Amino acid sequence: LTTTFHTLCAFSPMTKAYTRSGVKTAVELVSFSTKNKYSTKVLDVWDEISNRYDDMISQKAATVKSSSSLVKLDASLNALAKKIRASHQNSDPKKPPLKDAKSSELCCVTKEELVEIVVGWKFAKGKPRYALFKHLNNNTDRDVEQMSANAFGLLTPLKCNDRNNADLVVESDSTANCKRALDEMTKLRGVGPATASAVLCLVRPDLFAFMDDEVIECLVEGKRGYTAKIYMDLNDKCCEIAKRLNDIGSNRKQGVEWSTHLVGKTLWTATQLGTMEKNLDFDDIYQKLQHKTPPKKDGSKKLKHHCDKDTDTFADKTPKKVQKSTINNKGAKSQDREERLAKRNGLKRKGNSGEDTRNSTKTEG
């Protein structure tokens, strides 16, 4: 792990050219972290970027035609992860999956879940490679269930109170077990390390990151590839970053528990932010966080700046005071005008009182 960290520290944003948009921003995030020696400042920035993941998923779904279903697929993937982790926690790691067991008795993914949800999400989020569907569909339902059950059986179930927590860090299995689980999944037709990682991070997010193209280019030196060796290199680095972030946050009463999977998600989020916002400055992000208005305890609504629809960081109460003052002035002017009109009408009534009396006398006669 020490060797991995030193390699990570030496990695520079200018080391190579990137073929995926925004990767330089993710590399700069890693460089920013090592430069600031993984201080609380670094943790705050990672937390902030991580919180933008859902926004970036929605943004990609709205702007890329092939990703229009990404929001629904991301939700379906999260639901599948909860289901698998619940099943895995109740399984016996010492008891190998039975070849003649029913699918309902196995902790596994089905062929439909693999093709429609996992691979569908992977293609919507990254570059779609539709030629793989032919190979994936050559697997039988039983093949997918058995191979995934075998892979999950090699991993220790999560030991935590909240088994639906996708990003909880727990005691790790050995690297050898992780590699064996990866190899088991890749026995399926059309399933390489990238697709296998998308499945395995559902059951043990603390051990596996998803092999995004952008994360490969961010963390792995040399040309982007999809071999098991490249994946394990990427995964080790995500795991090391997660441990360092958790070491910083260990003194906090509240905060995010960083997992290998969450680190990968956050690096991908950084690439999307870098695509949208050129020259993203992490020091600037940190400074804005320091000046962010804390939430009010009385539950009263915060005022938002008229130019800031998404955040109340720069809440401005001045316009309301000015508006109130304007309303009071208008009310005073209106009152003065009414008084002047009343006086004028009173003078008219006095001046015309004799004429009014005569006219009334004629009428009555």
pLDDT value of position 159: 65
What do you get for the CA distance between the two ends of the chain, in Å? Answer: 117
Burial class (CB in 10 A: 0-12, 13-18, 19+), 129: middle
- Nearest alpha-carbon partner for 153 in 188, 114, 186, 200: 200
Residue 6 Cα distances to 1, 78, 81, 159, angstroms: 9, 34, 33, 31
- Least confident range from 9-13, 35-39, 270-274: namely 9-13
Per residue in 176-189, pLDDT (tens digit) is: 899 999 999 999 99
Tell me: pLDDT of 102 over 90.
no
139: its two tokens = 């697997």
360 — pLDDT class (breaks 50, 70, 90): very low
Helices and strands (H and E) in the chain: how many: 17, 0
Per residue in 20-61, pLDDT (tens digit) is: 989 999 999 999 999 999 999 999 999 999 999 999 999 999
Tell me: pLDDT of 335 over 70.
no
Residue 59 Cα distances to 21, 69, 102, 124, 262, angstroms: 14, 12, 41, 12, 19
Taking the C-alpha atoms of residue 32 and residue 28, their distance in angstroms, rounded to an integer, is: 6
Residue 92 Cα distances to 88, 156, 157, 207, 243, angstroms: 8, 9, 8, 19, 28
- Nearest alpha-carbon partner for 75 in 106, 130, 109, 120: 120
**Which carries the bigger pLDDT value, residue 91 or residue 245?**
245
Largest separation between any pair of C-alpha atoms in the chain = 121
pLDDT value of position 175: 83
pLDDT value of position 299: 47
**Which carries the bigger pLDDT value, residue 89 or residue 341?**
89
**Percent of the residues in the chain that have a pLDDT greater than 90, as a whole number:** 55
Taking the C-alpha atoms of residue 235 and residue 204, their distance in angstroms, rounded to an integer, is: 13
154 — pLDDT class (breaks 50, 70, 90): very high
Per residue in 220-259, pLDDT (tens digit) is: 999 999 999 999 999 999 999 999 999 988 766 566 689 9
67 — pLDDT class (breaks 50, 70, 90): confident
325 CB neighbour count, 10 Å cutoff: 10
14: its two tokens = 């200018």
Taking the C-alpha atoms of residue 157 and residue 281, their distance in angstroms, rounded to an integer, is: 40
Phi-psi region of 137 (alpha: psi -120 to 50; beta: other; left: phi over 0): alpha
- Least confident range from 226-235, 293-302, 341-350: namely 293-302
Asked whether the CA dihedral 293, 297, 303, 304 is positive or negative, the reply is positive
Average pLDDT over residues 160-164: 42
pLDDT value of position 293: 61
The chain-wide mean pLDDT, for the chain, equals 79
8 — pLDDT class (breaks 50, 70, 90): low
Average pLDDT over residues 2-17: 53
238: its two tokens = 């995500």
